[in-house]
Amino acid sequence: MLEVTIRPMKIWDLPQILNIENCSFPAPWSYRAFVSELNNSHGVYFVALIGEIIVGYAGMWLLPGEAHVTTVAVHPDYRGRKIGRKLMNTLIDFARIRGAQTMLLEVRPSNLPARKLYHSLGFRQIGLRVNYYVETGEDAIVMLKYLQETEDCEKPEEQEGLR
Ligand SMILES: CC(C)(COP(=O)(O)OP(=O)(O)OC[C@H]1O[C@@H](n2cnc3c(N)ncnc32)[C@H](O)[C@@H]1OP(=O)(O)O)[C@@H](O)C(=O)NCCC(=O)NCCS
């Protein structure tokens, strides 16, 4: 399989992105919405490519001390190949380097693939926003990840084979 590369989103990517957006969300963002995000000084957006083809994208608002994921999507033909995970890890690494303490996101209770992805990345449910998704009336699960703790590290004294 060809390698997946990640780079910042550019305005000329938007036709390919809108194609993915329209088959990924019940209330897709418009071209203008993406342009506004790219001009937002807090917005940070990346695309995933295989060769020259955009296969996914993800973005967030990077606010003082806190990152808020605004979108992540992978083209249906390319799902299940760890591209969503790679995009999310790109956001996490970027936010961590910029000093964010936490990363927050909303997800539909019915969106099990996304919930599983976020959980596997260390996000945990901290609350519910009632009737958050106006188009379906669904609530949103709010998930949070602490970015600066060393939860993934074993304590040095617990590591085997060091003595
Ligand atoms: C959510 C989404 C971005 C995941 O992208 P993806 O590239 O298919 O996901 P990955 O291959 O990186 O999978 C990473 C993890 O997510 C979970 N996951 C992904 N697809 C899954 C599925 N169909 N069923 C269950 N878990 C799934 C698994 O935990 C998986 O880890 P594993 O492969 O080690 O088991 C993709 O399904 C998508 O674009 N959905 C439509 C848009 C959307 O709902 N975005 C999120 C809005 S909150």
Closest CA to 53 of 74, 27, 39, 23: 74
Pairing mode, strands 53-63 and 66-74: antiparallel
Does residue 76 belong to any structural domain of this protein?
yes
For residue 106, give its domain range.
Answer: 4-150
SS3 call for 162: coil
CB 81 within 8 Å of CB 1: yes
Q: Which helix (H) or strand (E) holds 15?
A: helix 14-22
21, 37, 45, 118: the active-site residue: 118
Taking residues 45-62, report their average pLDDT.
98
List ligand 1's pocket residues with C-beta within 6 A. 24, 72-74, 79-85, 107, 111-114, 116-117, 120
Tell me the residue type at 36: S
Give the C-alpha separation, 69 to 43, whole Å. Answer: 10
Does residue 156 belong to any structural domain of this protein?
no
**Count of structural domains, the chain:** 1
Does residue 129 belong to any structural domain of this protein?
yes
Give the C-alpha separation, 72 to 47, whole Å. Answer: 10
Convert the pLDDT of each residue in 94-146 to its tens digit: 999 999 999 999 999 999 999 999 999 999 999 999 999 988 899 999 999 99
Note if 118 is an active site residue.
Answer: yes
Does residue 163 belong to any structural domain of this protein?
no
Does residue 61 belong to any structural domain of this protein?
yes
Convert the pLDDT of each residue in 20-35 to its tens digit: 999 999 999 999 999 9
Does residue 160 belong to any structural domain of this protein?
no
Note if 106 is an active site residue.
Answer: yes
66, 78, 106, 138: the active-site residue: 106
- The CATH number of the domain holding residue 99 is 3.40.630.30
- For ligand 1, pick from 22, 74, 117, 121 the residue to mutate: most ligand atoms within 8 Å of CB: 117
Is the per-residue pLDDT at 16 higher than 80?
Answer: yes
